Amino acid sequence: MMKNSCLICLLVLAAMAVTVHPGLNLAPNPSFEQDSKRLGGWLPLGQLKVNEPERLQIVEAHGYRSSRSLRVTTGPFNTPESFSAKLFFADYNGGEGERTVESSNGITGVRTIALRLNPEVQEVHARTRISGDPAAAFRLSLVWTGRSGRKPVVEIHRDVQKKFTDPSGGKWRLMELRARKPEGALQVQLCVETNGEETFHLDDVGVEFLRRPTVRLWVNQLGHEARSLAKRVVLESSTELKHASPAHLTNLKNSETVKTLDWKQHGYIKNLNAYYWSADFSDVQSEGKYAVVMEANKNRLISAPFNIADNLVVPETLEASIRFYYEQRCGMLIPGVHAACHLDDATLPDGTWRDLSGGWHDAGDYNKYNGLTPDALRALSLLAVGYLDADGNLAPNEQIPVKLVKEIIWGMQWIDKMLDPVSLKLLDQVYSGYRYWGEPEKETDNLPDTDDERPVKSSNGDRSHLAVIYARTALILKHSSNQQLRQKGLHYAKLAERLFAETGGNLTTLLAVSQATGNRKYIDTARNRVAEWRDQGALGTHFATLAKFAILTGDETLSDELKPHARKRVKELNQLCLNPFGAAMRRAKDGSLTYCREIEDVNDWYVGESAYRLDIAIEGLLASGVGVTEGRTLAEFQVNWILGCNPMGVSMMEGVGTRFVPGYHHRYNAIPGNPRGAVTGAILNGFIRAFPHIDKPWLDLSEEPNADYHSNEPWLLQNNRWTELLALWKR
């Protein structure tokens, strides 16, 4: 069960006197008017001869209500001799696979991709029109699949209909099937097959998910800072309420109503397949713990509890944010998490062994990459220098958190091992793929040079962040009480200069190198670059870089110059946030707004949606940092989404909030005592499309292990963005 689910009010209103909105048709390409990758989500059922003509084709001039239909060429069945064939099958997490087999059978029909199910789905209603041999037998099936233990795809149940609704209905006969979702089902496929060897056609396909009636309140489960103008609660109903009764913002300490909230109606949102209202309480600034309470059809709803405080986001998430990196460490014992692992990393491309232990596990796998590792150090060091003034000295009454410094040192020790001190070339990846799923310390024998070491994939690591992270780390170590670390800092400062000469850098790199070395030429170069952009009228083009530079240097004149560009950018970004949650959407190819990125196929790689919204938040904070306060509100709405005010009411940061996904896509779930694969502070990849053809946000809420990596895998990318957000939030 999900943590504190009683507080989140996933209330089932069993006897609601309301109108159910017509269901959303989830069938891929139902009228076959589109023609996209994999026919928009349809695959052959059976075995397809290798190199034979396509058995599925969208054809013209043979449709039920439109000009097109899907033609399915069946057979040959049970041939005397076997033939080399392709077998298509439902793969991991709703993906699609194919393999070569020897077969004596052929194509029996057609099926959809595996359509992901949400927990509230109760029934599926399927239908299709079939045009084919009147003498042939047809059957319509709903095949329910899920995960069992770590088996990626298990057929749980199959519902079958063999009779037409209108057996004498003419050329296009209707076949329908309504079935209840069996326990444990995570996906469902619609299949149509026949025993006839003649071609048949499909058209007017429908797959409707029937949800249980629910009314729910979604909030930021951490809460809001007192001055926030993004204090919002969202009401979601799967059915059309006659009206939404007033809600009450309640102080949980004394159960008193602080404010009666008026709902703004957003109506039915098709892709979310629900009705929405929102209410604002930004004028409430008194510190305390609150919840939103309301009545709906004689049922009492209460939101997750949340806080209002003067200072909330940094003090309440900083510890978890740093802890994430600590628990992702590779090459040492992490008490309560995992034993010392991969002590024998790694084998170089030339076959020799070098000590490359250390670093961080990149995601839910144990690989280590020099794309996101330097990016992590860039974000961590930005957070650390936030405790310093513009001259690189400790600000009054400030101290860089010890755990933050330790994490930076840990990461830099691995970068030191990966960097050639002479050529300044950076090794890229310590990579063993994704097949191993077990405790990290058992992937190898942890003994150097015994032929089971993980290999380094290439010698072309991303060096774009190296100069700035070496310079900032030098600046941080300058304030250490440890003489050895201070000496290391002096070495890093010299190395930063060499790296800058080799790779260049932006304004923040120039600032960092100047502060680390005390050499004014770097900051002068930065200011000359700003002057050039000013003369070229290009301040707006380089807004993000300039805003960060202005914030880090405290340059009020530059901040004033950037304000018009900041206002323009915030206005542009707010146009992406026109939804009940205030969360940034994506602009589709046709110009429409979508909650999740467009994909053509369930097998596409479409991760990182949390990072997208955190990038928007960072831009908002940059605007706020140069004096455009609306930017902070924009950022706060993205944080609301990450911390629970979203269509599933899930906090996507482990340990911050009250309701989290039941399981992560993380190999740590193989460690005894951690069946969820949870990592403190980990931020999910985030919402993805449930299906390629419909923009319906989805997370894997199954309690079975090895959750979908597209949505449920933590990754340095997301946490790097959060760390950067904290650095700017603090300022």
Among 37-46, 477-486, 625-634, the minimum mean pLDDT is found in 37-46
Fold of 5-16+216-309: Immunoglobulin-like (2.60.40)
Distance CA 586, CA 599 (A): 12
Cβ–Cβ contacts within 10 Å for residue 6, how many?
A: 9
- pLDDT surpassing 90 at residue 80: no
More confident residue, 2 or 649: 649
Q: What is the mean pLDDT of the chain?
A: 92
Of 7, 37, 15, 92, nearest in space to 601 by CA:
37
Summarize pLDDT for 399-432 with one digit per residue, the tens.
Answer: 999 999 999 999 999 999 999 999 999 999 999 9
Instruction: HSE, CB side, 13 Å, CA atoms: give it for residue 167.
Output: 8
Domain with CATH 2.60.40.10 in the chain: 5-16+216-309
What pLDDT is stored for residue 76 in this prediction?
84
Of residues 317, 322, 320, 455, the one with CA closest to residue 377:
322
Residue intervals of the chain classified under CATH 2.60.120.260 are: 37-211
pLDDT at site 13: 31
Six-digit token string for 684 = 């999910």
Question: Using CA atoms, how far apart are residues 674 and 338, in angstroms rounded to an integer?
Answer: 10
Q: Which residues pair with 139 in a beta bridge?
A: 193
- Which residue's structure tokens are 């349809």? 42
Question: Model confidence over 705-721: pLDDT tens digits?
Answer: 999 999 999 999 999 99
Residues of the chain above pLDDT 70, percent: 96
Question: What whole-number percentage of the chain has pLDDT above 90?
Answer: 79
Between CA 266 and CA 648 the distance in angstroms is 17
Per DSSP, 653 falls in state B
Peptide bond into 538 cis (omega under 30): no
| Cα 292 to Cα 250: distance, rounded to the nearest angstrom | 6
| pLDDT at 312 > cutoff 80 | yes
Element (H, E) at 522: helix 520-535
For CA atoms 104, 108, 114, 117, the dihedral sign is negative
User: Looking at the predicted structure, is the pLDDT value of residue 14 above 80?
Assistant: no
Query: What tokens does 706 get?
Result: 């090895």
pLDDT at 7 over 80: no
CATH number of the structural domain 347-505: 1.50.10.10
Residue 36 is predicted with a pLDDT of 54
Work out the angle between the directed axes of helices 556-574 and 543-553 (0-180°, nearest 10): 140
Q: Reply yes or no on whether the pLDDT at 111 is more than 90.
A: yes
Predicted local distance difference test score (pLDDT) of residue 12: 31
Q: What is the pLDDT of residue 239?
A: 87
CATH 1.50.10.10 intervals, the chain: 347-505
Please state the CATH superfamily assignment of the domain spanning residues 37-211 in this structure: Galactose-binding domain-like (2.60.120.260)
Nearest-angstrom CA–CA distance, 558 and 264? 39
**Helix, coil or strand: residue 44:** strand
| Confidence at 38, pLDDT banded by 50, 70, 90 | low
> Cβ distance 143 to 191 under 8 Å?
yes
Cα angle value 438/609/638 (rounded, 5°): 125
pLDDT for 331: 98
Lowest mean pLDDT among 87-91, 208-212, 436-440: 87-91
pTM recorded for the entire structure: 0.94
**Range from 93-97, 236-240, 260-264, 540-544 carrying the lowest mean pLDDT:** 93-97
The values of phi and psi at residue 264, to 5°, are -100, 125
Q: How many of the other CB atoms lie within 10 Å of CB of 479? A: 18
pLDDT beyond 90 at 93? no
